[in-house]
């Protein structure tokens, strides 16, 4: 049995897999990584732990301290020049975030054609895959909540729950609608630059449902792209 862990800025997601079959999954807040050990207590037959960690060294230490059977040390994913049919053209391949790399690998397995891979979380990442499996680059921008918070933290604007409107008539709606429009504009711009009008947008992350109604593109909502990519990397290495 394989344990897959996606340690992100806000949440730690995990799944247990046997080959391509998922057995269990869960999520804890990144600020309380000890909760992961509580959710996984009682497991004794984990043979392998694969991790994508963008949450820092403290979380990495918590993961390394997990006692779940004779699996050895957890293996932390690092981006490489190529894997599972995807070529990484980052100037320094290992500098690409492990979460983005795993998501690209999962997206390629799902689509095997040109696509955008968008994760809308604390940050929003917009990564482009060409029809030949080459990752040509991507964008990182503040997530929906972070965009709004950056304004309320540095201006006299107050934090309120807003709703989307094409022409907002109050400040809360203006903040929220501005974040939605900015993010959708970046996604649409990258889709146009990819020059593949039929290319799907694989959309995941906590803000995916907020963005979906405002994207006039072929969007596919996908959960747990990073965990799926981790499993594919493990399968690739085992082959």
**Residue among 99, 132, 169, 223 flagged as catalytic:** 99
User: Which of the 8 DSSP states describes residue 213?
Assistant: G
Q: Report whether 107 contacts 97 (CB < 8 A).
A: no
- Take residue 236 and report the two structure tokens written for it: 């690739």
Least confident range of 13-17, 21-25, 73-77, 172-176: 21-25
User: pLDDT grade, residue 33 (50/70/90)?
Assistant: low
User: pLDDT grade, residue 32 (50/70/90)?
Assistant: confident
In 3D, which of 186, 146, 159 has the Cα closest to residue 10? 146
Q: What is the pLDDT of residues 80-120, one digit of tens each?
A: 999 999 999 999 999 999 999 999 999 999 999 999 999 99
- Take residue 39 and report the two structure tokens written for it: 């959710």
What is the structure's pLDDT at 156? 78
Note the pTM of the prediction, 2 decimals: 0.93
**What residue ranges of the chain are covered by domains with CATH 3.30.420.40?**
2-76, 92-225
Concerning whether 6 is annotated as a catalytic residue, the answer is: no
Assigned CATH for 92-225: 3.30.420.40
What is the structure's pLDDT at 137? 97
Q: Which CATH number fits domain 2-76: 3.30.9.10, 3.30.420.40, 1.10.10.10, 3.40.50.300?
A: 3.30.420.40
Q: Which helix (H) or strand (E) holds 144?
A: helix 144-154
- Take residue 99 and report the two structure tokens written for it: 């979460």
Instruction: Give CA–CA dist 239/234, Å, rounded.
Output: 9
In 3D, which of 50, 93, 92, 42 has the Cα closest to residue 68? 42
Least confident range of 7-16, 41-50, 124-133, 203-212: 41-50
Instruction: Give CA–CA dist 203/145, Å, rounded.
Output: 17
Angle of CA points 29, 61, 230, to nearest 5°: 70
What is the structure's pLDDT at 166? 96
**pLDDT, mean over the chain:** 92
């Amino acid at each position: 049995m394989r344990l897959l862990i996606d340690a992100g800025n806000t949440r730690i997601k995990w799944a247990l897999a046997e080959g391509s079959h998922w057995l269990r999954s869960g999520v804890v807040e990144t600020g309380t990584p000890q909760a992961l050990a509580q959710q996984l207590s009682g497991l004794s037959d984990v043979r392998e732990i694969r991790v994508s960690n963008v949450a820092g060294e403290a979380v990495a230490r918590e993961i390394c301290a997990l006692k779940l059977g004779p699996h050895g040390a957890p293996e932390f994913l690092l981006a490489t020049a190529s894997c599972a049919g995807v070529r990484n053209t980052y100037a320094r391949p290992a500098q690409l975030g492990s979460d983005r790399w795993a998501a690209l690998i999962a997206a390629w397995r799902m689509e095997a054609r040109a696509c955008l891979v968008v994760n809308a979380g604390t940050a929003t990442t917009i990564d482009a895959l060409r029809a030949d499996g080459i990752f040509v680059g991507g964008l990182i921008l503040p997530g929906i909540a972070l965009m709004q918070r950056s304004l309320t933290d540095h201006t006299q604007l107050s934090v309120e729950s807003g709703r989307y409107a094409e022409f907002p008539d109050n400040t809360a709606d203006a903040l929220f609608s501005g974040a939605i429009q900015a993010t959708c504009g970046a996604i649409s711009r990258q889709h146009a630059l990819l020059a593949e009008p039929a290319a799907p947008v694989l959309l995941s992350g906590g803000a995916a449902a907020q963005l979906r109604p405002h994207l006039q593109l072929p969007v596919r909502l996908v959960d747990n792209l990073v965990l799926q990519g981790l499993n594919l990397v493990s399968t690739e290495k085992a082959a």
